[in-house]
Structure 1
Amino acid sequence: MKKIETAFEHLLFSSRWLMAPVYLGLILAMGVLLVKFAKEVWLLLAEIMTASGAEMIIGVLTLVDIALIMNLLIIIIFSGYENFVSKMEDLHSHKDRPDWMGHIGFADLKIKLIGSIVAISGIELLKGFMNVDNLSDRELAWMLGIHLTFIVSGLLYAVMDRLQRGGTPH
């Protein structure tokens, strides 16, 4: 019976590698976002002489939005892989290794995720306000409501995390 238990536990432990293709898929999604980013830069440059200031700001905000999403994906890929699949031991001495890599736990990852969602939502809301003539009051109200929901959710999660850790900062 002990052999069956040990074999099952090894199977459970090895199942973490099923996440590796997910992280590969996120890397491919970053490639897609890179193509979208290049397209947006191209459109921005093509319209530089004819676009209004508001259109330029919306274009730049779109680029910032894509960059934030790609940064978020990097954090999810690195910390998710290290927390749930395998440590990247061979990269510990790499000169370009981010300082946070290997130090972000699951709770820290959720805080960063929520913070990024709030930032992305804020950028979308700002883009909406810059494009206010083309949006209805209802659409703007929904955007604002969703953004405020993200903010409140993030604050509540941070408070719960602080209480769970006994009120001590990370």
Structure 2
Amino acid sequence: MLKNLEPYLEKTIFNSRWILAPFYLGLILGIVLLFIKFIQKTIMMFNTVFSASVSDVIVNILVLVDLSLVASLLLIIIFSGYEIFVSKIDTGDHVDRPSWMGKVDFSGLKLKVIGAIVAISAIDLLKSFMDIPNELSNGEADKLMWKVIIHMTFVVSGLLFAIMDKVVGDTKKH
């Protein structure tokens, strides 16, 4: 009796991967929202460029870079996640197809994500350093210290992920 149910169960489990598709569509909407904030920030920069200090302009540009990196991270997650878990993206031999598409496994996706998170964290940290006032209060110093600690945690995590992937890759398959 259970043997008769097995094909249906397996087919149901296999088809359940499509439940992830709306998540990826939602992430595309997230990119649209980031684009709107990007445009809003760009317009604000043009309106204040002549009255802003060089430091303010640099910080605002770092915000644009940050938004771009987050949007790129979302695209990596959308493309790779969809291809790993849902279905291959059939673009044929389109000239603009990213070379890494279809070649990034779950392990590679984790490394790309942690690398992007480290870059985003570094930009946020740089923005914080650019905004340091002449005198730091204890609260501001603590906040800056925690940003450095969190950034270093991301860096160490990324290194550990890379080392683990290297060790697993060098281990012979059984």
With normalisation by structure 2, the TM-score equals 0.93
Find the aligned partners of 2:89 and 2:155 in 1 and give their Cα distance. Answer: 33
CA displacement at 1:76 relative to structure 2: 0.5
Q: Give me the whole-angstrom Cα distance separating, in 2, the residues matched to 1:163 and 1:95.
A: 35
Matching of residue 29 in structure 1 with residue 26 in structure 2: no
Q: Is 1:59 the counterpart of 2:60 in the alignment?
A: yes
Mapping 1:115-134, distance limit 5 Å: 115-133=115-133
The answer for the alignment partner of 2:98 in structure 1 is 98
Partner of 1:9: 10
Report the Cα distance in structure 1 between the residues aligned to 2:120 and 2:9, rounded to whole angstroms: 42
Aligned mate of 1:152, from 156, 165, 168? 156
Q: Which residue of 2 aligns with 1:68?
A: 69
Distance in structure 1 (CA, Å) of the matches to 2:84 and 2:47: 43
The superposition leaves residues 107-159 of structure 1 with CA deviations (integer Å, 9 ceiling, x where unpaired) of 00000000000000000000000001196111110110100010011101110
The 3-state SS of whatever aligns with 1:17 is helix
RMSD: 1.4
| Residue 114 (structure 1) aligned with residue 114 (structure 2) | yes
Counterpart AA for 2:105 = G
- 3-state SS, counterpart of residue 82 of structure 2: helix
Residue 41 (str. 1) matches residue 29 (str. 2): no
Normalised by the length of structure 1, the TM-score is: 0.95
What is the total number of aligned residue pairs between the two structures? 167
1:92 Cα shift? 2.7
Give 2:141's match in structure 1, choosing from 101, 125, 137.
137
Moved over 6 A (4+): none
Q: Give unmatched runs, 5+ long, in structure 1.
A: none
Q: In structure 1, what residue type is equivalent to 2:29?
A: L
Q: Distance in 2 between matches of 1:167 and 1:111?
A: 19
Moved more, 58-67 or 92-101: 92-101
Q: SS of 1:132's equivalent?
A: coil
Q: How big is each residue's C-alpha offset from its partner over 1:42-74, in whole Å with a ceiling of 9 and x where there is no partner?
A: 111111100001100000000000000011111
Q: CA deviation at 1:93?
A: 1.2
